């Protein structure tokens, strides 16, 4: 695993503290969306389908800092939209670094190389670049030719300047396992600091809802894709808890932890989950207190949750499972491997 050791230790300490305090519902990753605007119109994303008056709005740096402090999660993911379109994104990132939050700034890479001068390399900052495959596959997914090459050049430029860079890949129905393995080999040669993968989820607002995976198909596909990794034949660097990868392959049976990755945006605190569209609360505490959590996750019977295996709901479950005595040795082994 390639989660840097500083982050692994900080998150482990946070999990132990929550357990000692007897807290059963607490966030692990804050999904901070400072805007919904984007310079792409990917068919599998529903974010830019918001009305124009909402797409024009930005969170202020002060609103971002208040949400981070109110939530308390050790990791902050900054998706969008395209965060680099925010006129004060450098101020937001600098403020979160000062607060010693581990930041994953999610970007499609189009503006990254141009804007690198706005940021300083830090163990608390990682650029997470969206790549859904090699050139032809990725450009097809984002509905624009040439984006793959721009993103790869940006990754190389960021790495040359000392920044941490990971990739974020969504796996859709129809994905060729061998092509995905070749893609992972390419990323390994590119020397990225980690790869994140997740099955796609059928956004209600997404223009294309026909290429999202069903649950059993997800397990079969990931078993095929990750077979060389599972067998020790490939040393791909995944930015995931190993138990989450076991879950994707069907070797672990988890239920969702819907409070593990709350989302805050220009609309407020989103009701569970990050991928659904059920309204918003004014405060994080209101989200915790007023949500009927029994209505979310596969075991709830909610049809919207039946086929979901997305990382934002299940990575927190894997993180909590890693604290169980039977899994501690494996988790520590991953940490020591990172240290080496």
Give yes or no for a cis peptide into 41 (omega within 30° of 0): no
76-127 pLDDT tens trace: 999 989 999 999 999 999 999 999 999 999 999 999 999 999 999 999 999 9
Across residues 283-296, what is the average pLDDT?
96
Q: What is the pLDDT of residue 331?
A: 52
The answer to whether the CB of 139 falls within 8 A of the CB of 168 is no
Q: Which of 256, 252, 229, 277 is nearest to 327 (CA)?
A: 252
Q: Rounded CA gap, 225 and 240, in Å?
A: 16
Q: What is the pLDDT of residue 161?
A: 98
Q: What is the pLDDT of residue 284?
A: 97
Q: Rounded CA gap, 68 and 256, in Å?
A: 22
**How sure is the predictor about 46, in pLDDT bands with cuts at 50, 70 and 90?**
low
Across residues 279-288, what is the average pLDDT?
96
Residue bearing tokens 């077979």: 227
191-247 pLDDT tens trace: 999 999 999 765 445 444 444 558 899 999 999 999 999 999 999 999 999 999 999
Q: Which of 246, 155, 222, 137 is nearest to 193 (CA)?
A: 155
Rounding to the nearest 10 degrees, give the CA dihedral for residues 158, 261, 303, 266.
Answer: -80
Q: Which pairs count as long-range contacts for 62-68, CB under 8 Å and 24+ apart, including other chains?
A: 64/32, 64/34, 64/92, 64/95, 64/96, 65/92, 65/95, 65/96, 65/99, 67/30, 67/32, 67/264, 67/269, 67/284, 68/30, 68/32, 68/96, 68/99, 68/101
Query: What tokens does 15 get?
Result: 């999990």
Sign of the dihedral through C-alpha 150, 154, 155, 156? positive
The answer to whether the CB of 34 falls within 8 A of the CB of 89 is yes
Q: What is the pLDDT of residue 82?
A: 97
Q: Which pairs count as long-range contacts for 328-337, CB under 8 Å and 24+ apart, including other chains?
A: 330/242, 330/243, 331/12, 331/241, 331/242, 334/1, 334/3, 334/8, 334/241, 334/242, 335/5, 335/8, 335/9, 335/12, 337/1
Q: Which of 321, 319, 316, 303 is nearest to 215 (CA)?
A: 303
Radius of gyration of the chain (CA): 19
Q: Which helix (H) or strand (E) holds 102?
A: strand 102-107
Model-level pTM?
0.91
The answer to whether the CB of 76 falls within 8 A of the CB of 104 is yes
Q: Structural domains in the chain?
A: 5-335 (3.20.20.70)
């Amino acid at each position: 695993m390639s989660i840097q050791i500083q982050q692994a230790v900080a998150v482990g300490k946070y999990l132990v503290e929550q357990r000692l305090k007897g807290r059963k519902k607490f966030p692990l990753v804050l999904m901070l969306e400072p805007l919904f605007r984007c310079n792409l119109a990917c068919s599998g994303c529903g974010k830019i389908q918001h009305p124009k008056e909402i797409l024009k709005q930005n969170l202020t740096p002060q609103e971002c800092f208040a949400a981070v402090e109110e939530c308390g999660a050790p990791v902050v993911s900054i998706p969008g939209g395209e965060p680099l379109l925010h006129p004060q994104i450098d101020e937001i990132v600098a403020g979160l670094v000062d607060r010693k939050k581990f930041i994953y700034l999610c970007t499609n890479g189009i503006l990254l190389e141009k804007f690198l001068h706005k940021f300083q390399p830090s163990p608390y900052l990682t650029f997470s670049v969206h790549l859904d495959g090699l050139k032809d596959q990725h450009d097809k997914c984002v509905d624009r030719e040439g984006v793959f090459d721009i993103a790869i050049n940006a990754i190389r430029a960021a790495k040359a300047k000392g920044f941490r860079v990971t990739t974020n890949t969504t796996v859709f129905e129809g994905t060729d396992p061998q092509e995905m393995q070749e893609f992972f080999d390419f990323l390994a040669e590119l020397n990225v600091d980690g790869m994140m993968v997740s099955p796609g989820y059928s956004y209600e607002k997404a223009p294309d809802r026909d290429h999202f995976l069903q649950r059993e198909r997800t397990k079969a596909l990931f078993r095929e894709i990750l077979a060389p990794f599972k067998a020790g034949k490939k040393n791909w660097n995944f930015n995931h808890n190993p138990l989450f990868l076991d879950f994707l392959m069907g070797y672990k049976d988890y239920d969702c932890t819907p409070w593990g990755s709350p989302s805050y945006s220009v609309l407020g605190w989103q009701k569970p989950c990050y991928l659904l569209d059920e309204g918003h609360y004014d405060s994080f505490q209101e989200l915790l207190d007023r949500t009927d959590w029994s209505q979310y996750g596969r075991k709830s019977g909610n049809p919207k949750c039946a086929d979901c295996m997305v990382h934002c709901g299940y990575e927190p479950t894997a993180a909590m499972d890693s604290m169980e005595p039977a899994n501690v040795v494996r988790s520590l082994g991953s940490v020591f491997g990172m240290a080496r």
